[in-house]
Chain A
């Protein structure tokens, strides 16, 4: 068995076993309490080998600004679904801390492989908001160029994207680049076969991948207890020979601390790591879902009390970092993006039926050229008969 250098160091320094290093802490890492006060070091859930430096206040202020924007984006997109401008939107309302931390922990050259629920993370990474929504508006399967911001197209087939993350990391490693890849999935998705294959490949090839699981407690209607009886999802890491950590997913401070360290370790050559964030999907799975059929209001309210924005705001206000002016400015930034979304998504998308044939291959086959011509002629005939029908009516 090969033991990453970082693990060997932790083992020596803290006198802990390799299993203790790889296993997550008991409970979870939490730095900001649910009422928004910075917890003293001994109450953060950490143990030897699991200590995390707290990000600077300026980082936290920027993270809060992104949280405000992310919340506004979620609510704006849900409203656009109700207005019929979007076909569907899987909201991450309640999970914004995970979304923001996922984007902020990466450098420019790093890659992110998100799921359908991670639109806010994608936008926080810098992808154009309207392009991000192309998939959900339904005018194409993906709207942005993955290479431009190093963000995979939001994946729908559960955990398939984790293997793409592994491949991107493998290519980077073979070329000697210090790219880190963040591979994202949900709690339910951890039951899929590709989850296992991706973790194992990343570990065997010792690749710089951080697997980031947002455990929002449900896979559509099915609670986590039906997916696994493992002590936690983070515990799964040790079976692959990698370190796992469990973090309060509504605590942006803890998330940044844990993810920053994971990314730093991966970049330094530790091999892959796994981070499980304990959070909650505050809204239904999508607009098409009815969450009242499978969970009760008391549970939802208990989680509402742990809201990631309230917590962070309370901390930043009480310490004087968040001024009235800053709050107004952040709300303005959020409104600007909401306006961009409204403008972009209220405009009719330009649809070109010939696009259907253009990119199936790098060069259309003769058969596709024939079919493209067939559709063009059919549409021309339709237009012609609509025109002559119009003439007859006059």
Chain B
């Protein structure tokens, strides 16, 4: 029985809408909920237990689920991923944390030669339900090896799914989908968004997620979403580039241009359908990505749009990406990162008739 005061407080809270939660909290909650729902989900990596990870994304998991379900490993990324593969092969759903993007490279052989290929190699007899979480990309003033956008390496490797959320709700939902997936997922977390906040009801999301049969629905399909509708041009972005894309669309609307923003959400599987529907509607496209542009995901998106929607295009597709240089030192990164002005300039160059 709740007291009158408690009931009044609950009513007030409901009226105020959901609380603002961080992207980080959404990720943590997704793991905790998945661990509660399935004993086979285990979380491990470097500093993930007592410390909760260097970004605190695994905060509280060791305390709640104990040393068997959330534990620290020796410092060895190939070991972490290779051991996760064996555990996935033997009935578990490991979720492993790479401390930073560039520190996942020692695990690349395990990822490219085994994680990606085992299902194909065994004609589907071995499934690898495992998630490799990779904090990635810049904008946090990180020193060398802490800011790489390494998604193209994974997206280029057949057999890996590559997810990257850009909103708090997606952080929760896509991580739950990744953990539920019977395919291995490289889950790329834009670290500059870890502390961003949105009013999201994680409880409601959990109930929603657990009521949806994710495995049966859209299993092999991409999950791109129109995150801002518009009529005159489309910005296609993902992960860390979605916030500047949205800001640019907002600025453009002040100048009278209605710009749609498509967030890819999953790089693999790629959602040609959502992307092309938007492009066919607007006829003008800017692709934004923080990674170096050469041989990149942005190149792939551009090529696909051009192959599939050529007759709907009023102008060549523009790319706004990082320069083809190693990620810059902290004091120089603002010249590298694709920001609102560069996106607006690219939009301006789309051969407008007015």
Contacts and interface: CB of A to CB of B under 8 A. Distances in A.
B268 interface: yes
Contacts of A171: 86-87, 89-92
B272 interface: yes
Nearest to A179: B90
B82 A141 contact: no
Contacts of B42: 174
Interface string B194-206: 0000000000000
B183 interface: yes
A190 to B, nearest CB: 15
B221 A360 contact: no
Contacts of B351: none
B114 A160 contact: yes
Contacts of A169: 86
A141 B83 contact: no
A213 B179 CA distance: 36
B121 A166 contact: no
Contact of B90 (A160, A167, A368): A167
A364 B90 CA distance: 24
B219 A157 contact: no
Interface string A336-370: 00000000000000000001001111111111100
B99 interface: no
Interface in A227-252: none
A170 interface: yes
B157 to A, nearest CB: 10
B121 A141 contact: yes
B89 A163 contact: no
Given A167-B85, A170-B86, A367 B269 contact: yes
A207 to B, nearest CB: 9
A167 B119 contact: no
B11 interface: no
Contact of B82 (A147, A167, A360): A167
A223 interface: no
A256 interface: no
B229 interface: no
A18 interface: no
Given A147-B125, A160-B82, A360 B90 contact: no
A167 B88 contact: yes
Q: Is the interface of A mostly helix, strand, loop or mixed?
A: helix
Contact of A146 (B74, B126, B222): B126
Contacts of B2: none
A362 B125 CA distance: 10
A167 B220 contact: no
A364 B220 CA distance: 6
A169 B114 CA distance: 18
Interface string A140-180: 11100111000001000100101111111111101100000
A201 B125 contact: no
A184 interface: no
A200 interface: yes
Interface string A192-211: 01101110110010000000
A163 B269 CA distance: 28
B109 A360 contact: no
Nearest to B183: A361
A361 B121 CA distance: 11
Nearest to A173: B68
Q: Which of A147, A163, A172, A361 has the most CB of B within 10 A?
A: A361
B123 A359 contact: yes
Measured as residues with beta carbon below 8 angstroms from the partner, the interface class of chain A is: 35 or more
Contacts of B92: 171, 174
A167 B272 contact: no
Contacts of B88: 167
Interface string A114-144: 0000000000000000000000000011100
A360 B184 CA distance: 11
Q: Give the residue among A146, A162, A170, A367 with the most B Cβ atoms within 10 A.
A: A170
B329 interface: no
A164 B220 contact: no
A145 B122 contact: yes
A366 B272 contact: yes
Contact of B110 (A141, A163, A165, A358): A163
Contacts of A141: 117, 120-121
A365 B269 contact: yes
- Most chain B CB within 10 A, of A140, A171, A194, is at A171
Interface string B97-111: 000000000100110
A359 B119 contact: yes
Given A157-B113, A160-B114, A167-B89, A363 B219 contact: yes
A361 B159 CA distance: 6
A204 B126 contact: no
Interface in B247-286: 268-270, 272-273
7 contacts: A141-B117, A167-B89, A174-B42, A194-B79, A201-B74, A204-B74, A360-B120
6 pairs of A and B residues whose beta carbons are closest in the complex: A167-B86, A163-B82, A197-B79, A171-B90, A363-B220, A164-B86
Interface of A: 140-142, 145-147, 153, 157, 160, 162-172, 174-175, 193-194, 196-198, 200-201, 204, 355, 358-368
Given A167-B86, A170-B86, A365-B222, 19 more contacts: A140-B123, A146-B89, A146-B126, A157-B109, A160-B113, A163-B79, A163-B85, A164-B82, A164-B83, A171-B90, A171-B92, A174-B92, A194-B79, A197-B79, A201-B83, A359-B124, A363-B220, A367-B269, A367-B272
